[in-house]
Chains A and B, each alone.
Chain A
Amino acid sequence: MSEHQKPDTLTNLILRIAMIWRGVFTVVAAAGVITVWSGRLPEVPLWQKILLSLVLSIAAGFSAFGAVEIARRNHRGRMISLVIDYLAFVACAVMTLNIGEVFIGIDALAETFGRGIPYLGIVLAGYLLSSMDEYSVRKQTSEQSLKQVGRWVMIFGFILFLWQVDTINGVLYFLGKLAQPAGLISVAGMLIFGAALWTVWRQPSAAAMHVKTNHEQVISGWLFLSPNLIGFLIFFAGPLLLSFYFSFTDSDAFNTPNWIGLDNYAKILNIKFVTLSSPTQLAKEVVDIKIYDEVGRMMFGSWGILFAAADKFFWLALRNTLTFVLFAVPFSVVPALILSNVLNSKLPGMKFYRAIYFMPSIAAVVGISLVWQWLYNATIGYINYFITLGIEFWNNLFNLAIVDPKIQWVSDEKTALFAVILIAAWQTMGFNTVLFLAGLQNIPGELYEAATVDGAGAWDKFWGITLPLLAPTTFYVVSTTTIQAMQVFEQVFILMNPPEGPNNSTITLVLYLYRSGFQNFKQGYASAIAWVLFIVIFGLTLIQFQRQRQSSIYES
């Protein structure tokens, strides 16, 4: 790689073709940009036109630069060619599979593939058979025959598998779908970009362009990273940016969205505080009720302050979400910390208990919420049943007259959010316990031994050694639990009926976001809520980071 030999004629020819290809690509991409804005694509929304133009312009620019660099035999030209052609090749391959309806077929994969699974077992048996050669005593002949037999079993099994999953029809269907202009174009694209990749990838081309080992390593690194990176860009970063754009529109997810600037954010943040002259004064007497709704009021004797907002649901959701975080985080972190210290002991059966406490974390939230719904049922639920039994027991034992509260866990606005907090804390506690356990394992035992020698008790050791040295783990647990708690949705959605709860006592930000986007046809507004939620979470996490940095405990 580092030796610079004079390229042969063929390599020179190939690089010349690569350079011309880069030029052609530049022209085609530039033409694409012109086409986008020529009015031939009236159906395409503005944001898609902008995005498409941006992608094509960047590709055209880099391609043109790549052509120049290839002409100069500079390794940068090779790198640019590889990146552009690789991405284009992947795009064409995905398009080909999509046109061939492979992705739709995947929906039925379980059924189709399931029919063939027993025959794949035969293939596996063949593989194991051929792998047994090394255990053979009579090496030569047995090895040969076992391999032969194994190979034939594998072939036979695979043919049966193909027959069972109806491969011939499937392949014919796939090819039939490709035999249309879009299919042929995508296949041609794959071939062209594949060939273009080969022209610059081959060893003589690399040598001719003065590629060094570290250049190759960089390319290999990006290549290995590319499946994840492309997936991230398409399925995470892309939608993220798209939702940011939608937050400035009136998108309903179905029709072309209109740009409305900051209207969505303005509506969310349009709030008003006004003075009330009496506790019974109605909101419509002090604010324009066509714009504002009452969110809450705080009374100080005969006067008070009214909090009104253009979107009261957002503020109620924010209030509930922050309340949820305020209680759910300590309820799931503090018990986890205590539990992890107990489970960290070397008593018999601790591994069993570790598994038991972890189980809620791996169970499906929907299933758990349904179980808790039954437990919480005010009339036939087990929680109230045991409370009743307990009260009867004490009343009978001491001749008391304690009244059975018959708590309406999920249907009373005073207890509804607490019921959700309890489930979330119970479910998260197990996972947090495991994290704390991992942290505890990293604390050197010598410190405890030394403390014991110095006469420290269990509490001193916990307060003086465990807690400070667990600080990084605690920080991680608190941060992740807070982020998770800010996004509470499933428990509320399943447990409550309606999910908002009595007097909106359980409406949360993600629930409101879901309602707005999926049920009220306001995707643009829902996107704005999502970004405000992001800012709130970001802010909280930032505060936690700053406090963690300032923490003298951690520093010491």
Chain B
Amino acid sequence: MKKNVLFKAFSLLVILSFALAACGAPATVATEAPAAEESAATEAPAVEAPAATEAPMMEEVAIRWRTRPDNQEEIDVYSNISTELDAELNGVTLTYEPGGTEGANYQDQLRSEVAAGTAPDVFWIPGTDVADFATRGLILNMNDMATATDGFSVEDFYAGPMGHLTFNPDTATFGADSGALWGLPRDVSTFALYLNMDLINEAGAPDPRELAKEGKWDWDAFLDVAQKTRALGADVYGYGASAWWGPYGVWLNAANGGFFNADRTACALNTPESLAGLDFQRSLYQDFDVATPYGEDPEPTFRAGKVAMFQNGRWATPGVRTVEFEWDVVELPAGPSGTAGNWLFWGAYVVNAKTEHPEEAWALVQALTTAQTQGKVAALGANIPSRVSQEALDAFLTFTPPANNQAFLNGIAADANPTAEGPLWAGSWPEYDQIMGPAIQGVLTGATTVEDFGATICDSADKVFVK
């Protein structure tokens, strides 16, 4: 009987200890923060972080922020940045949350938290999501705070993303005077072709980098290299790309076509230019058989040394750095439009509309997008700073390999006329993508003809636009 009591008491202790441990957690954060502040204050380089408030004796406000990291290295970099900015920003205690787990992807988790009212004060969203968040009143229009901030200018960032981030749906205008600012871009990225130089040399194909320098890197030259490398063996492919809107979109753009009409209010997938671009891409898969099957992940095949040209963004660089063959990058080939039709990918830091501390959150958004902060993230090699700054671009060129980093900068240069990834203010981008993706996959896998695609696609796709 006594032993039973002792056992019960022990069980109770364990349960109690769980509760006490749970209680201990918030306090731990609170007590650890000053220590982090001290170390950051002594070790961090001088970061030009904007001051959240002029009054240093003001009570500390807690700001939670989140961005989607791709790996543990990025989590570490963002955690360090958070610690450093915590020391820089007066009156603010920062908590960085990586977001996304094995069981819930970043966007699902974020949207659930936004719906539940527990989302962080500042968070990152992809460029395509900005309209959905803004029109539903989920993110703050920071225009008034930006206007009152000395030295801030939307022109310090790439024009493409800022066009979308300053779009005012009420007036259908964009730019510094539009009266809207939904966020600031965390970074930018673009496509390049990752080259397996061993395969290209073995096939005796011309070096795409040299062709690009000579201005001869166009679709014909690309197809020539792809065919020569494909001839190396049944299991060797000239070209590989993943199955999402980014890779197939560039072929449409390069042919002077695109997903939407000029003001992004209607489908343009059925224009002759768009269909010509799609037909060329289809021919890579169906007629010339130079590409890894569409819908199959080409990255493992490329890493296995079986793909000569692998189309991917800057974010693939850290992974490619571990391959054992000689590799480099080259810009995408120019299409009939004279340009490669590349994308300018971006995502933005935005402020939760329900934040209790908008001023501090705005200060954090600025601090997270300074050249110095972006330089630290870009040093990992996965992305490009979103500020148009020669200093940032010069620094980016030093983040090698690849040796030809310039290829990425050429992709986002103004004369390359990249198309900025963006939301659909006049419709639903996720629904558009849901209609477009499987239909294009049908064309590229040979199940649907380009003509049939062109005859029907916009009938469905136009329905996602607000009438």
Measuring CB to CB, which residues of chain A are less than 8 angstroms from any residue of chain B? 100-109, 111-113, 116, 120, 123-124, 127, 130-131, 154, 158, 161-162, 165-167, 169-174, 252-255, 282-284, 289-290, 293-294, 312-313, 366, 373-374, 377-380, 408, 410-413, 496-498, 500-505, 507, 515, 518-521
Contacts and interface: CB of A to CB of B under 8 A. Distances in A.
Ranked nearest first, the 8 interchain pairs of A and B with the lowest CB-CB distance are A411-B295, A169-B27, A170-B24, A170-B23, A108-B25, A105-B22, A503-B442, A105-B25
Interface stretch (B222-230, B377-385, B428-436): B428-436
Contacts of A366: 102
Contacts of B306: 379-380
Contacts of A413: 442, 445, 447
B293 A503 contact: no
A77 B6 CA distance: 38
A112 B21 contact: yes
A377 B301 contact: yes
Contact of B132 (A283, A500, A503, A521): A521
29 contacts: A104-B25, A105-B25, A106-B25, A111-B25, A112-B21, A116-B17, A120-B14, A130-B6, A166-B31, A167-B24, A170-B22, A170-B23, A170-B28, A252-B136, A290-B463, A313-B434, A377-B297, A379-B292, A379-B301, A380-B300, A411-B293, A496-B295, A498-B438, A501-B438, A502-B441, A503-B442, A504-B438, A519-B107, A521-B136
A520 B20 contact: no
Given A380-B304, A502-B445, A411 B111 contact: no
B235 interface: yes
A105 B25 CA distance: 5
Contacts of B27: 166, 169-170, 172-173
B455 interface: yes
B56 interface: no
Nearest to A101: B26
B42 to A, nearest CB: 25
Contacts of B13: 123, 158
B20 A171 contact: yes
B15 to A, nearest CB: 12
Contacts of B136: 252, 254-255, 521
A373 B441 contact: no
B14 to A, nearest CB: 7
B338 to A, nearest CB: 31
A169 B460 CA distance: 59
A154 B12 CA distance: 13
Given A105-B22, A166-B31, A289-B459, 14 more contacts: A105-B24, A108-B25, A116-B17, A120-B17, A165-B24, A170-B25, A173-B23, A174-B23, A284-B459, A379-B298, A496-B295, A500-B434, A515-B430, A521-B430
A503 B441 contact: yes
B39 interface: no
Contacts of B20: 162, 165, 167, 170-171
A544 B447 CA distance: 37
Contact of B23 (A100, A127, A374): A100
A116 B434 contact: no
B459 A283 contact: yes
Nearest to B10: A127
Interface in B307-323: none
A162 B20 CA distance: 8
A520 B18 CA distance: 39
Contact of A410 (B242, B295, B459): B295
Contacts of A254: 114-115, 136-138
B25 A112 contact: yes
A172 B13 CA distance: 19
Interface residues of B, number: 64
Nearest to B295: A411
A331 to B, nearest CB: 23
Interface string B214-255: 000000000000000000000101000011100000000000
B293 A379 contact: yes
A497 B24 CA distance: 43
B22 A109 contact: yes
Nearest to A116: B21
B296 interface: yes
B296 A410 contact: yes
A501 B441 contact: yes
A294 B115 contact: no
Name, among B18, B115, B296, B428, the residue most crowded by chain A CB atoms within 10 Å (CB to CB). B296
A167 B23 contact: yes
Nearest to A177: B26
B306 to A, nearest CB: 7
A496 B295 CA distance: 8
Given A113-B17, A161-B17, A172-B27, A520 B301 contact: no
A165 B21 contact: yes
Contact of A408 (B293, B437, B438): B293
Contact of B447 (A162, A500, A503, A521): A503
Contact of A102 (B19, B137, B242, B448): B19
Contacts of B294: 411, 502
Given A102-B22, A105-B22, A106-B22, A377 B296 contact: yes
B121 to A, nearest CB: 15
A293 B6 contact: no
Contacts of A411: 243, 293-296, 441, 445
A253 B111 contact: yes
Contact of A293 (B3, B7, B460): B460
Nearest to A404: B234
A519 B10 CA distance: 47
A497 B243 contact: yes
